[in-house]
Structure 1
Amino acid sequence: MKLNSKIAYSAASLLLAGSTVSAQSLNDAKKAIDAEQYQKAKSMLKNLTNTQATNADNFFYLGWVYALQDYSDSAKAVFNKGIAANPKSALNYAGLGAVARLEKDRAAMTTNFNQATTLAGKDSKPFVYVGKAYLLPVAGATAVPAADANAAIAVLSKGLAVNSKDADVDIALGDAYRSQLKSNEAYKYYSDALTLNGNSAVANVSVGVLWKYANNFEDAEKQFQKALSVDPNFGPAYREWAETDLRWAQTDPKMASAKIKEAADNYRKYLSLTDLSVESRMRYADFLLLSGDYKTLQTEAAALSSSANSNLRIYRYLGYSAYENGDYQAGLTAMNNWLSKADPKRVIPRDYLYLGRLQLKTGADSLGIQSLRKAYSLDSTNADVFAEIAKNYYGKKQYAQAGQAYESYINNTKGAKLQDYLNEGLSYYYAYDDKTHKPADTVYLAKADSAFSHIEKVATTPIAAVALYRAYVNDTKDADRQNIKGLAKPFYEKYIQIVTTKGVTDADKKNLANAYAYLGTFAQYKEKDMAKATENFNKAYEYDPTNRQAKAFLKK
């Protein structure tokens, strides 16, 4: 379900609630982080790192904001400053471990996490942030790997043993279980957090998210409303409410129109309660991508890409959305921009998928195929690229390459359909040129026949086209009419039986004529049965008076 492009917000109309820094305590900065008021939090924390330069915690929370916003280099620099301020700062080692995980440096991650938990002592917060770090989204991943979720649960359980009264530990444990779709366990820990602190907006929203995924939309809304009753300015409640509305719209068509409008309104409220920073608008872009509203996403991404301090990731979104909207040249420019400027560690297989598609659409076929193959080499779940490559080859009548690509698709995916086997068979059949073929090219006929044969074996009802093409393949093998072996005979007979049973249409007549003409030829040269030959050629002529074989035989 796509959002109406008219919902795109006007920045001038939104209230910059909470955008000024009125309090300078670390607790207020942490509240701003929870509320996703990242710009406000950074301003406060930068001030604290200057006025309280010996407090390593100030550096950690500033670095954590950078990590959340996908600025790994800035995060690492700030965490190192925190360690310089206090070499025994467990939190900053947790931060360095988080950056290492985002950069896919598992050895550095483990070393820093171990150092964090060793230095933690009786402080549960380092355990909380090591656990949270395991759950951070890594570029290219669609979910938290089970191993990371289990590692998060293990370290958070240690944190719970250190301090069973820290609601943040329970919330993080709930998040870890929720990432693995273990709703009962997640609910247990969110409930424990609410028992410790019933006014936790974060915990109330987290329970609402559980109800959202259970499609219990009414109770989800109640939890978001409860969070807002605790803190009317808690933006994430509106964001999750918006995403719940979107899911509701996709699940219940009757509610779609109203819920899409409500989703847009709630997301506008979320934005108004953040700081309308580039990062907040990036989160809006994330939402648009999730919702499939590519039209609005392209407009928003284009606006963000003109900002000097914009996250480079916006070029990825601009490339994706431009492709989906058919604006291929703009999409290609954006993807080239992203891939040439982004840290290679931030590039994901899907980027090459869209790059390849855009290159194909703009005529750079060889580059496009190369990019699609790279997407597959980086992530074997992208086997669909072979179908796209095959379609491109087939459209250009490069049938041998098309057949090979369809074969690769079938061999590398569990989702192959009978149509894919048909496409493979047709490609290989047309790849065999009976005017210029070499002996080795007969492998194409064998592959074509194998593909058609597979369809016959698994199809629930006989398919006329498959029988016909099996006949064509075997007819090609049996080209010497004077010494005809009858390889195609059973397939032509099957074709005739399927078509005449269902009822002959005008589109069937030429093919039927060819089938009867073959049977007439077989009767004439192999069976030496002229009566039978005459009968078949008469039927061929009846269906298609222009059939050359029938006309030639009957003329004699």
Structure 2
Amino acid sequence: MKNAKFLSLLLSVFSTAAFAQDLEQAKKAIDAEQYDKAKKILKGLVKSNPDNGKNFFYLGDVYLRESEADSATIVFNKGLATKDKATLNFIGLGQIDLDGKRAAAAQANFDKAAAGIKKKDVDELLLIARAYINSENPDYKKAIEIAKKALLIDDKNAQAYLVLGNAYYGDKDSNEAYSAYRNAYDLDSSLLSAKMKVASITKNAKAFTEAVKSFNEIVAINPNYGPVYRELAETYYFWGASEPAKYEEYIKKALGYYEKYMSLTDYSVASRMRHADFLILAKDYKALEIEANEMKKLDKVNPRILRYLGYAAYENGNYAESSKAIAEFFAKVEPKRIIARDYLYLGLTKMAEAKKADGTYDEKIFSEGVVELNKAVDKDPVIANELNAIGQKMFKDKLYKNAARLFEVAIKNPKSKNYLYDNFYLGYALYFDYDDKTSPKDQLTKADAAFSKVIEVSPTTQDAHLFKARVNDQIGTPESKLVALASYEQYVKILDGKGDAEKAKPNNKKGLIEALTFVGAHYANSSDKAKAVENLQKLLTIDPANEYASKTLKALKA
């Protein structure tokens, strides 16, 4: 009997040790972003140790990291029925409540998880703080508060400093985040994620050389730590974006590092989605289409895969496939998961479908596309930056009506880097598209407003004054004629200030002849003959053979 009891106790000790070891392996896999590996370990633990709530909590947490909230909810609820550490699963349910903007319900769940915490135990506190950080609706200040509470209990806890660093990082307090990460790594040099975050702060400060050096130090410590290669990929992408001359070189390095990251994590759907997001950033749409089709083989249900297929197919000119994928995506996805870029591609795809064999557009389908582009810019105004090149292509193809409609969407964001040019081309397109017989009466008024906005932003852009004058001349009311006069005069004044070389350029010379003719004629027909003579004489210096100037000056002096 004694031997039997001893053997039972020994087996229990071995079982507990094996469980602890396996759970640590799962945690390391999560930290290394090897989610399939982590799930495999945790599912085994759930099966072999069904009474331990920790297994369920960490398995549910992996599902949350992969945005599989339904699976996570099922696992957490099963975890609540376990005998040991069941209350950890209230933390997972609390994070799901935060994701759903149910703050009171989240707090209630966190309170249940914290109710049985021992006086010197900080694990639950740190997991609650992490939930506030990882939520789709994070509360970084709350996480900072809880992490600091944990440090009051145990000021040598490396994990507490890591969580505090993540909270400060999310709250955009780089100095405090840097300090917390340094403390975490000093206390536990196995926390490569803390050292990596220090380097990431350097990357965000655009100190790319120093950041790469720091990331390579991590590679030297553990060349199989996957997340560091993702950071290197992002560093080279941003470095290339900031140095256009080296963009091609650096983007090639970035894509290579991301492939390395993939090889060291896993080729699960979740990992492939992270890869796809980076391929969109890097504008490698050929690779994106290949990746999306590989994901489709693994998971035919996830609507996010259809997003990638739609984006890639559009960029690769496969418009019918893009339209099909995007339409299916919108039919399947939860409305809260729709992002601005989805509306952008839906709009662009509709426009591509609207294009007829003769190069013109089916206006009904084109209008549907414009509606989606408006939704995109309303949801994320930065999207407006991307419309300029598309609008300019339409303008160059002399599809002025369609270009104007696109630029009307683009100018909704006054902070767009293309705001000046978008207004300029909007005014151009409206002016060139105008037809006295068929165009709306307010079309020229809109063109005038667009050129006025250009002048407001850049007063010395002479062509804005020239076209504002032309627009108001065409409007043809006594009031608009006076606006045209003032605009032409300003055009002449700006060019006078820029010197003879600028005035001699063919387009500017042509504009000056037009402006001085209008101004001279106006004053010749009014009582201000001195101004008429002044402007007509200027006209003759630019265009000595100008018959109108010669004849009018002769008449004025008679």
TM-score normalised by L of structure 2 = 0.76
- Residue 235 of structure 1 corresponds to 226
Q: Distance in 1 between matches of 2:248 and 2:390?
A: 38
1:239-279 alpha-carbon deviations (Å, 9 max, x no partner): 33443444455556787677555544543443333233232
Aligned to 1:472: 470
Asked if 1 retains the 8 angstrom alpha-carbon contact of 2:400 and 2:430, the reply is no
1:357 corresponds in structure 2 to: 348
Per the TM alignment, residue 217 of structure 1 is displaced from its structure 2 partner at its CA by 5.1
Counterpart of 2:151, as a letter, is L
Change (3 A) 1:257 1:84: same
| Secondary structure, counterpart of 2:42 in structure 1 | helix
After TM superposition, give the deviation of residue 369 of structure 1 in Å.
Answer: 1.4
Aligned pair count?
Answer: 520
Asked whether 1:128 is paired with 2:126, we answer yes
What residue number does 1:300 align with?
A: 291
Q: 1:470 to 1:245 in 2, by over 3 A?
A: closer
- What's the offset of the Cα at 1:57? 0.7
| CA distance in structure 2 between the partners assigned to 1:196 and 1:33 by the alignment | 21
Aligned to 1:79: 76
Structure 2 equivalent of residue 418 of structure 1: 420
Q: How does 1:67-106 map to 2 (within 5 A)?
A: 67-86=64-83, 89-106=86-103
Partner of 2:458: 459
In structure 2, C-alpha distance between the alignment counterparts of 1:254 and 1:435, rounded to whole Å? 50
Q: Distance in 1 between matches of 2:246 and 2:392?
A: 38
1:409 is aligned to 412
Partner of 2:320: 329
How far apart, CA to CA, are the structure 1 residues paired with 2:528 and 2:207? 76
Q: What does 1:138-287 align with in structure 2 at a 5 Å threshold?
A: 138=136, 148-216=139-207, 220=211, 223-224=214-215, 227=218, 231-250=222-241, 262-287=253-278
Tell whether the 8 Å contact from 2:98 to 2:135 is kept in structure 1 after alignment.
Answer: no
Tell me how far 1:505 sits from its aligned partner.
4.6
The gaps in structure 1 that reach 5 residues or longer are 1-20, 139-143
**More deviation, 339-348/57-66:** 339-348
Greater RCO, 1 or 2 (C-alpha within 8 Å, sep 6+): 1
TM-score by length of 1: 0.76
Give the secondary structure class of the aligned counterpart of 2:81: helix
Q: Which amino acid is 2:60 matched to?
A: G
Measured after TM superposition, the shift of residue 67 of structure 1 is 0.8
TM superposition shift of 1:178: 1.9
Q: Is the 8 A contact 2:76 2:93 kept in 1?
A: yes
Q: Which amino acid aligns with 2:65?
A: L
1:114 alignment partner in structure 2: 111
The whole-number CA distance in structure 2 between the counterparts of 1:446 and 1:224 is 56
Give per-residue Cα distances to partners, 1:495-542, cap 9 Å, x unaligned.
Answer: 456567533454456655544554565466445979979x959969x9
- Do the aligned partners of residues 453 and 538 (structure 1) sit closer, same or farther apart at CA in structure 2, a change above 3 Å counting? closer
State the secondary structure of the residue aligned to 1:315: helix
Is the Cα–Cα contact under 8 Å of residues 407 and 423 in structure 2 kept in the other structure? no
Shift in Å, 1:335: 2.2
Q: Is the 8 A contact 2:377 2:409 kept in 1?
A: no
Tell me how far 1:231 sits from its aligned partner: 4.9
User: 1:31 maps to which residue?
Assistant: 28
| Matched-pair contact (CA < 8 Å) for 1:204–1:226 | no
Is the contact between residue 83 and residue 93 of structure 1 (CA under 8 Å) also seen in structure 2?
yes
Distance, in Å, in 1 between the alignment partners of 2:536 and 2:271 is 75
CA drift at 1:347: 2.0
CA contact (8 A) 1:389 1:402 kept: no
CA deviation digits over 1:50-96, x for unaligned, max 9?
12111111111111111111211111111111112259733211111
Query: Hey, what's the Cα distance between the residues in 1 that align with 2:278 and 2:403?
Result: 42
Q: Distance in 1 between matches of 2:296 and 2:210?
A: 38
RMSD: 4.5
- Per-residue CA deviation, residues 149-176 of structure 1 (Å, 9 max, x unaligned), is 1121122222333443432221111111
SS at match of 1:54: coil
Residue 13 of structure 1: aligned partner: none
Residues 538 and 436 (structure 1 numbering): CA distance in 2 closer, same or farther, change over 3 Å? farther
Say if 2:53 and 2:80, in contact at 8 Å, map to a contact too: yes
Match of residue 373 from structure 2: 372
Q: Structure 1 CA distance, aligned partners of 2:232 and 2:403?
A: 52
